[in-house]
Amino acid sequence: MAEQKSEPGQEAPAPAPTPAESLAADLCRLRLDAGKPSFRTMAKTAGSISHTTLYEAASGARVPSWPTTRAFVRACGGDEAQWHARWTAAVGAEQPGATPPAPAATPTPTAPPASAPAAAAGPAPGGQPGGQSGGQPGGQSGGQSGGQSATPRPRRRRIWTHAISLLVGIALGSGGTLALTGHDTPAAAPPDAHGCPAGASGPAASDRPSATERPGEGPTGDPTGAPAEDPAGAAGTTGPAWVARTAADQEAVSSTGADLPVRSPVRRGDALVVTMMLTSTCPGAVSVTDTGQDRFQVLGDVTDSLRHRVLVLAAFRAAGLTTADTVRADYPRASKFHIAVDEFRGVTTARSAARASGDAGGTTFTTDSGSVACRPGDLLVGAVGSNTGTAPAFGSGWTALPALALSSYRLTTAHKIATDPDHCAAAGRTTSQWGTVLAVLR
């Protein structure tokens, strides 16, 4: 029946988030508006729901139970009645016929003769404006007898439930039919086994940096050729140096973007280096911006066999940022993200990059298989995204920065000044599933 409702020639709709993902996104916005309390803090406020359960409610994997949703909403100061309506809508969309919400406007179904006058008069199904029964003609009190109010109301409620279920089933069936009949339209290609758009096999061409000097940049790394605001040595340094961690965050929540507040002010003219790990993600463009209008470039990008993606991006000669500023990352949908932003002084361009990945069970990680151009004095920045096994530990000469971890998922970042141009690689020890990127800056 659903296929008969589809119209030939109609374009298939773009893939939409599931009801569970939509509800999770709304819950995440509520939590953000509440000041982004930790899940442990929320669990203490909720009292009877663990932080792990609240954590899963915001993941979008499935629609959480109402007690879990209610605890989440209460912990973030939301309106319980409004959120019950949202939760009911999500359940109804995911399981047609199972507690669907009453729609604002739906064609009036055929009702028994005794209730027809009341339906024509205008009250919504099951409603009793002014305390009157919607099932009795003439607005008689629901407490009066006459045999007309007790029977029609339940029947009418059942009719509405069946009508709503039918409409939802038709809508879902039509969507499925359109997706099947729209195969000759590129936008309608079905997803692959991981739920990613068909035909996407890796980062977009514009996101793939070369293994040596990146095209389109002058010797300073700035296509405009503008002079540096704060050249190396202006702040008393004799070479590249790490300054501070500007911003960082990690969340186990299905999302396509994240806003990170700046926690450490950034000096004008310094470089900002972003290291990122996306879990269970898809190929596609990744971008980073900030409220200072800095231009971040993708320097390295690798995805391992479990679809954990690691990237390094950078903005040179950054605008001066304060704690009132934010850094924004946008990416294909991911189940978790780890993002760190670090400020470095004394570098103005990217020289080269390398990337590699490996499965769990080994004893090392390394980018040695990819040749990179570097020379003594260059700044090496390495990022490793890993899952399970031992936490990655960089080798001799590397300085580790604060790692970001969610359970067994970790983003480990470190930096080093190159001394031997023949051995420029991000390398160390781990037994985890891993992906690593090395960026060479000068």
Q: Is residue 222's pLDDT more than 60? A: no
Q: How confident is the model at residue 36 (pLDDT cuts 50, 70, 90)?
A: confident
Q: How confident is the model at residue 22 (pLDDT cuts 50, 70, 90)?
A: confident
- In the chain, what's the furthest Cα-to-Cα distance? 97
* pLDDT tens-digit readout, 407-421: 889 999 999 999 988
Q: Is residue 120's pLDDT more than 90? A: no
3-state secondary structure string, the chain?
CHHHHCCCCCCCCCCCCCHHHHHHHHHHHHHHHCCCCCHHHHHHHHCCCCHHHHHHHCCCCCCCCHHHHHHHHHHCCCCHHHHHHHHHHHHHHHCCCCCCCCCCCCCCCCCCHHHHHHHHHCCCCCCCHHHECCCCHHHCECCCCCCCCCCHHHHHHHHHHHHHHHHHHHHHHHHHHHHHHCCCCHHHCCECCCCCECCCCCCCHHHCCCCCCCCCCCCCCCCCCCCCCCCCCCCCCCCCEEEEEEEEEEECCCEEEEEEECCCCECCCCEEEEEEEEECCCCCCCEEEECCCCCCEEEEEEECCCCCEEEEEEECCCCCECCCCEEEEEEEEECEEEEEEEEEECCCCEEEEEEEEECCCCCEEECCCCCCCCCCCCEEEEEEEEECCCCCEECCCCEECCCEEECCEEEEEEEEECCCCCCCCCEEECCCEEEEEEEEEC
Q: How confident is the model at residue 154 (pLDDT cuts 50, 70, 90)?
A: very low
Mean pLDDT of the chain: 74
92-115 mean pLDDT:
51
pLDDT given for residue 350 in this prediction: 94
151-175 mean pLDDT:
48
Q: Which residues pair with 191 in a beta bridge?
A: 197
Whose CA is closest to 160, among 113, 115, 101, 120? 101
pLDDT given for residue 98 in this prediction: 52
84-108 mean pLDDT:
65
Q: Is residue 93's pLDDT more than 90? A: no
Q: Is residue 51's pLDDT more than 90? A: no
Q: Is residue 276's pLDDT more than 80? A: yes
pLDDT given for residue 422 in this prediction: 75
Q: Is residue 321's pLDDT more than 60? A: yes
Cα separation, 398 vs 393, in Å, equals: 9
Question: Could you give the strand order of the β-sheet that contains 255-261, starting from the edge strand earlier in sequence?
Answer: 255-261, 326-334, 287-290
Q: Is residue 360's pLDDT more than 70? A: yes
Q: Which of 116-120, 203-207, 371-375, 378-382 has the highest mean pLDDT?
A: 378-382
242-246 mean pLDDT:
97
pLDDT given for residue 132 in this prediction: 43
- Per domain, the residue ranges of the chain are 2-103+163-188, 206-441
pLDDT given for residue 25 in this prediction: 86
Q: How confident is the model at residue 440 (pLDDT cuts 50, 70, 90)?
A: very high
More confident residue, 349 or 185: 349
Q: Is residue 403's pLDDT more than 80? A: yes
pLDDT given for residue 372 in this prediction: 83
pLDDT given for residue 198 in this prediction: 53
pLDDT given for residue 128 in this prediction: 43
* pLDDT tens-digit readout, 331-350: 999 999 999 999 999 999 99
Cα separation, 66 vs 328, in Å, equals: 32
CATH H-level, domain 2-103+163-188: superfamily: lambda repressor-like DNA-binding domains (1.10.260.40)
- What is the model's pTM? 0.55
More confident residue, 306 or 151: 306
Q: Is residue 371's pLDDT more than 50? A: yes
